[in-house]
Amino acid sequence: MRRTAAIVGGGIGGLATAIGLIREGWAVTVFERADDLPKTGTGLGMWPSAMRALDQLGVGAAARAAGRPQANGHIRRDDGSLIATLDVERLARKQGEPVYLLSRPALLRVLAEAVPDGVVRFGDPVTDLGALRQAYPLVVVADGANSKARAALFPDHRLRYAGATVWRGVTDLELAAGGEFWGRGVKFGVTPQEPGKTNWYAVLTVPQGYRPADDLAELRGVFGDWPEPIPAILNRYAETEVLRHDLTYLDPPLPSYVSGDVVLIGDAAHAMTPDLGQGACQTLIDAAALADCLGSGDVAAGLARFDALRRKPTQKIAATAGRVSRLTQWRRGLWLRDLITRAALIPGPPA
């Protein structure tokens, strides 16, 4: 009898898992609460390890065609002076693969095109995890950081406020390279995206739930006199669809990514702050690893192997992202912050 699986969530993790399991001979149904794939979204950096996962899923070439290689980036102070350089060209020489930049919608399109018609059931949210477990011998939870399935399985493990709020957007601006500007407890980042587009984000250390009366006025008040391209981006603010939300992380870490016949992947398993740019990357690696672990047909053994393979590395990355997040929120001792940052980048960025 053909093995069957249900996947909760049709985002990056859900679609990637569907591709991997289908390639291993599984019959898969993906339950996605949204009515369609998103048409807009911010940029992602695909590190070499994520590109290898995409290759394993058979969509690496399509992802490369949809993206663009990343140039070296810089971390600067709010006056434009240099703190450190992110040497991705060195990484490319070492790994034989650059970092690729592409938007979330572009990556989702690449993944969706590799999933057979009828596999994804849009507009079909999962409201009863128990019923799904009775109907399928395997349930993969890939419903993101705010996972309701995780809350049901691990109620004592919740999202915690990371101390900052972020504004994210995409604007009509062409940049050759990206980077971040750091001030006292605030930062502004830019990343080239598709031709003629730039992904940007602004992070403020504020109390949880802080909401200014006027977002643009708030950002201009903090970043308006910072170096270009920040003023140019803020002048285009009205042309962007801006997302604003509190930064969170999962705490405490899960004791296991497996609960019986249910396995959690991606942000549902290890939600982290975005400071290392590893959220989507680790989700793709999870998906490829899970498919490989379940290729033998022994579900219990495969899930145990997946948990042993992925839990500690992803939780280590999440912890490191949290430390970087706290570092960028410093308001005093900025000379020490800069020294720590330079020292941390000596071995090079994560692969």
Which strands sit side by side in the sheet containing 43-46, from one edge to the other?
Answer: 43-46, 100-103, 68-69
Q: Would you tell me how many other CB atoms lie within 10 Å of the CB of residue 193?
A: 26
Tell whether 87 is covered by a domain: no
Q: Which of 36-40, 259-263, 296-300 has the highest mean pLDDT?
A: 259-263
Q: Which residues pair with 32 in a beta bridge?
A: 122
Whether 341 is in a domain gets the answer no
Percent of the chain topping pLDDT 70: 98
**Domains of the chain: total:** 1
Model pLDDT, residue 282: 98
What residues contact 286, with CB distance under 8 A and at least 6 apart? 13, 17, 265, 266, 269, 310, 314
Residue 284 lies inside a defined structural domain of this protein: yes
For residues 165 and 204, give the distance between their C-alpha atoms in angstroms, rounded to a whole number: 5
Percent of the chain at pLDDT > 90 equals: 87
Residue 42 and residue 187: Cα distance in Å, rounded?
17
294 domain-assigned: yes
| 83, two tokens | 């703190």
The tokens 């663009």 sit on which residue? 68
Model confidence at 241, pLDDT cuts 50, 70, 90, reads confident
Does residue 218 sit within a domain? no
The full DSSP string for 142-154 is ---TT-HHHHHH-
pLDDT higher at 241 or 289: 289
Print the domain residue range for 278. Answer: 4-69+105-160+250-327
Specify if 54 maps to a domain: yes
Q: Give 20-58 pLDDT, tens digit per residue.
A: 999 999 999 999 999 999 988 888 999 999 999 999 999
Strands 100-103 and 243-251: unpaired
**What pLDDT, on a 0 to 100 scale, did the predictor assign at position 345?**
87
Of 199, 260, 203, the C-alpha closest to 233 is 199
With respect to residue 316, please indicate whether it lies within any of the assigned structural domains: yes
In a domain, 13, yes or no: yes
Lowest-confidence range among 139-148, 159-168, 341-350?
A: 341-350
Average confidence (pLDDT) over 75-89: 95
* Res 349: pLDDT: 64
Query: Residue 321 sits in a domain of what CATH number?
Result: 3.50.50.60
Identify residue 172 by its one-letter amino acid code. D
- pLDDT at residue 206 is higher than 90: yes
Question: Taking 60 as the threshold, does the pLDDT of residue 1 lie above it?
Answer: no
The arithmetic mean of pLDDT across residues 173-181, rounded, is: 92
pLDDT (tens digit per residue) in 182-203: 999 999 999 998 888 899 999 9
- Whole-number average pLDDT of the chain: 95
* Three-class HEC string of 170-205: EECCCCCCCEEEECCCEEEEEEECCCCCEEEEEEEE
